[in-house]
């Protein structure tokens, strides 16, 4: 198993954190992991993205231009990364913010209204966990309990009271994906 | 029990410095390597008593390294391209005075103040003597976060073995990316009188460390000695990694992170039925001349890939002595080539784009 993922959105939406959680969780399952952030001026208010690779075998290049999955949290990310998905790959997009969804017909496209759901759960910051949940519903490459353990590693201790909320958000994301007919 | 951590390249390097028993770090912040200073400021003193000092400039940093290295302590600095340029005078002094130390360049896009994205434009500066005079650094080029950590201890070993500054030449991407890293156990910081260190007279004859030798015959003696040392280093310290070169029709040469992108390009090539191998020099000085010549002797062509306008390619050409055609593909200014792009260039330059 090798899963190459590009996660992209606005700075502050938690896209880099999503990748970090996957890496920590992957490590707990003795998988090979790599996380390559976009860094520089674009992180300060603009768009941010990271390439996250989880694999059972040694990872050659941490930098890729074609990937298995793109998770897009804003409109510019759809435009920038839609073509990066390999044929038969997966694109998950946040359908509240993204008004022009991806259009390719050789990939699977899943829209998740993560921002709406986060607002319903009264914390817009958990959007990233909802989207991560939706991704794991489609591709359960890592055990849920390890994802939660990974989250614990990433979240500074002073925010650990928010762990249950984040867990709920991820499960909600999984439910949303299943309700939209997504199966693993 | 293995201690595995998920770390950024810069952090892994800083952590490895603490664990290698490094005594002092002098540096000045610059993107994309500021994490080294940040991490050491936070962790080093409380754990081992290592001195971590933010100097007023890169010029000050390197001269602090010069002074501290003269006492025989394990000392280091790190910077990124423009900062390394500022240090070159001091590095030349250190090389002449034959002091062991670790320098780290997390290469960013240049020339000038440039960009903060990854690049390899400092190859010439690193391996050909960036400062004045005939001197060489031992230059190590890591390609994984693990090597960012491992090469710290190796650098100190080599630096003390040869009394020569060692440079870890890496780039912004490797500094910023995270991977698993297995950490070594903490080494004790220890002090030894190495016979040349300036640590007080102790009622004996004072020792002098200097790079000023006004008499030309004396200066020539020193040069002859240095050249002899560099020759010994060339004979004994070459490190190189090769992948699938045995049956390869084409070979890609690349160093650092780019070599890994080339590994992926080689995998893609093999899926298409083109036999491609990859050679990655780990030491850029000493350069693996013989190894490259030997490994490429049956190849139809070599594609050298770098994030610059073509620097290491000159050494590759010298190594193969015109026996194998060498082509070059490079991206500049902070752009990282993709595996697909590298394969496309290889096909275009050698196979004419038709496979």
Q: What is the pLDDT of residues B157-213, one digit of tens each?
A: 999 999 999 999 999 999 999 999 999 999 999 888 899 999 888 777 788 999 999
B294 touches B318 (CB < 8 A): no
Q: Using CA atoms, how far apart are residues B103 and B136, in angstroms rounded to an integer? A: 13
DSSP H or E stretch at residue A136: helix A127-138
| Same domain? B169 vs B279 | no
Give A66's contacts in chain B (Cβ within 8 Å): 340
In a domain, B106, yes or no: yes
| Same domain? B27 vs B105 | yes
Domain boundaries, chain A: 2-179
In a domain, B203, yes or no: no
| Same domain? B187 vs B45 | yes
Strands A2-10 and A47-55: antiparallel
| Same domain? B190 vs B66 | yes
What is the SS3 assignment for B181? strand
pLDDT reading at B299 higher than 50: yes
Are the beta carbons of B179 and A61 separated by less than 8 Å? no
Give A23's contacts in chain B (Cβ within 8 Å): 6, 178
Which one of A40, A54, A67, A154 would you mutate to disrupt binding with B, by most B Cβ within 10 Å of its Cβ? A40
Supply the pLDDT for residue B204.
Answer: 76
| Same domain? B173 vs B89 | yes
Assess B264–A contact: CB distance below 8 Å, yes or no. yes
Supply the pLDDT for residue A38.
Answer: 87
B136 closest CA partner among B179, B98, B104, B106? B98
Q: CA–CA distance from B254 to each of B120, B306, B322 (Å)?
A: 11, 6, 18
Are the beta carbons of B260 and A20 separated by less than 8 Å? no
Give A62's contacts in chain B (Cβ within 8 Å): 173, 177, 179, 257, 260
The tens place of each residue's pLDDT in chain A, 184 residues long, gives 999 999 999 988 999 999 999 999 999 999 999 999 987 665 556 789 999 999 999 999 999 999 999 999 999 999 999 999 999 999 999 999 999 999 999 999 999 999 999 999 999 999 999 999 999 999 999 999 999 999 998 999 999 999 999 999 999 999 999 999 888 8
Supply the pLDDT for residue B203.
Answer: 72
| Same domain? B212 vs B271 | no
Share of chain B above pLDDT 70, in %: 99
| Same domain? B80 vs B169 | yes
pLDDT reading at B281 higher than 50: yes
| Same domain? B85 vs B170 | yes
Assess A132–B contact: CB distance below 8 Å, yes or no. no
Nearest beta carbon to residue A60 from set B115, B177, B264:
B264
Q: How confident is the prediction for chain B on average, in pLDDT?
A: 96
| Same domain? B100 vs B172 | yes
Are the beta carbons of A34 and B177 separated by less than 8 Å? yes
Nearest beta carbon to residue A36 from set B177, B265, B341:
B177
| Same domain? B251 vs B288 | yes
Give B176's contacts in chain A (Cβ within 8 Å): 36-37, 39
Supply the pLDDT for residue B355.
Answer: 46
pLDDT reading at B320 higher than 90: yes
Can you give the residue range of the structural domain that contains B103? Answer: 3-196+208-236
The interface pTM score, or ipTM, of the predicted complex is: 0.92
Supply the pLDDT for residue B353.
Answer: 53
| Same domain? B265 vs B168 | no
| Same domain? B140 vs B219 | yes
In a domain, B201, yes or no: no
A6 touches A66 (CB < 8 A): no
What is the SS3 assignment for B145? helix
Residues pairing with A8 in the sheet: A49, A72
| CATH number of residue B255's parent domain | 3.40.50.920
Supply the pLDDT for residue B70.
Answer: 96
| CATH number of residue B71's parent domain | 3.40.50.970
Q: What is the DSSP string of B222-278?
A: HHHHHHHHHHHHHHH---EEEES-TT-SEEEE--THHHHHHHHHHHHHHHTT--EEE
Which positions ≥6 away from A11 have C-beta within 8 Å? Answer: A42, A43, A44, A45, A46, A47, A48
Phi-psi label, residue A30: left if phi above 0, alpha if psi -120 to 50, beta otherwise: left
Supply the pLDDT for residue A43.
Answer: 53
Please count the other Cβ atoms lying within 10 Å of the Cβ belonging to residue B331: 21
CATH architecture of the domain A2-179 equals 3-Layer(aba) Sandwich (3.40)
Nearest beta carbon to residue A60 from set B173, B178, B263:
B263
Supply the pLDDT for residue A42.
Answer: 56
What is the SS3 assignment for B198? coil
């Amino acid at each position: 198993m090798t899963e190459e993922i590009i996660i992209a959105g606005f700075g502050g939406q938690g896209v880099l954190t999503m990748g970090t959680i996957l890496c920590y969780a992957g490590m707990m399952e003795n998988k090979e992991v790599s996380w390559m952030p976009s860094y520089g001026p674009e992180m300060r208010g603009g768009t941010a993205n990271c390439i996250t690779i989880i694999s059972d075998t040694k990872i050659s290049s941490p930098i890729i231009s074609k990937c298995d999955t793109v998770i897009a949290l804003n409109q510019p990310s759809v435009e920038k990364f839609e073509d990066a998905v390999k044929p038969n790959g997966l694109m998950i997009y946040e359908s509240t913010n993204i008004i022009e969804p991806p259009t390719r017909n050789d990939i699977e496209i899943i829209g998740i209204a993560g921002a709406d759901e986060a607002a319903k759960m009264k914390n817009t910051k958990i959007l990233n966990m909802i989207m991560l949940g939706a991704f794991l519903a489609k591709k359960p490459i890592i055990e849920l309990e390890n994802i939660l353990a990974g989250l614990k590693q990433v979240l500074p201790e002073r925010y650990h009271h928010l762990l249950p909320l984040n867990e709920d958000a991820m499960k909600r994301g999984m439910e949303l994906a299943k309700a939209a007919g997504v199966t693993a | 029990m293995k201690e595995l951590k998920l770390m950024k390249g810069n952090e892994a390097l800083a952590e490895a410095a603490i664990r290698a028993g490094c005594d002092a770090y002098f540096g000045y912040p610059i993107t994309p390597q500021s994490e080294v200073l940040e991490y050491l400021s936070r962790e080093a003193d409380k754990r081992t008593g290592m001195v971590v000092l933010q100097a007023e400039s890169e010029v000050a940093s390197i001269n602090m390294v010069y002074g501290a290295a003269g006492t025989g302590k394990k000392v280091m600095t790190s910077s990124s391209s423009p900062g390394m340029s500022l240090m070159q005078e001091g590095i030349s002094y250190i090389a002449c005075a034959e002091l062991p130390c670790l320098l780290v360049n997390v290469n960013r896009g240049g020339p000038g103040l440039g960009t903060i994205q990854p690049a390899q434009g400092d190859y010439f500066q690193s391996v050909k003597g960036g400062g004045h005079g005939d001197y060489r650094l031992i230059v190590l080029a890591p390609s994984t976060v693990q090597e960012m950590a491992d090469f710290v201890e190796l650098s100190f070993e080599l630096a003390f073995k040869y009394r020569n500054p060692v440079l870890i030449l890496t780039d912004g991407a490797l500094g910023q990316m995270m991977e698993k890293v297995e950490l070594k156990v903490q080494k004790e910081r220890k002090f030894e009188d190495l016979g040349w260190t300036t640590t007080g007279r102790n009622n004996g004859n004072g020792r002098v460390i200097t790079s000023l030798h006004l008499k030309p015959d004396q200066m020539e003696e020193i040069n002859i000695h240095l050249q002899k040392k560099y020759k010994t280093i060339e004979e004994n310290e070459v490190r190189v990694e090769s992948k699938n070169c045995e049956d390869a029709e084409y070979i890609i040469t690349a160093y650092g992170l780019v070599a890994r992108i080339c590994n992926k390009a080689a995998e893609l090539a093999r899926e298409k039925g083109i036999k491609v191998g990859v050679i990655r020099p780990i030491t850029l000085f000493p350069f693996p001349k013989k190894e490259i010549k030997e490994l490429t002797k049956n190849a139809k062509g070599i594609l050298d890939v770098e994030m610059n306008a073509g620097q290491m390619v000159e050494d590759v050409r010298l190594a193969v002595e015109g026996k194998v055609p060498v082509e070059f593909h490079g991206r500049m200014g902070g752009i990282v080539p993709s595996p697909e792009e590298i394969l496309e260039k290889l096909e275009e330059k050698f196979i004419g784009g038709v496979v």
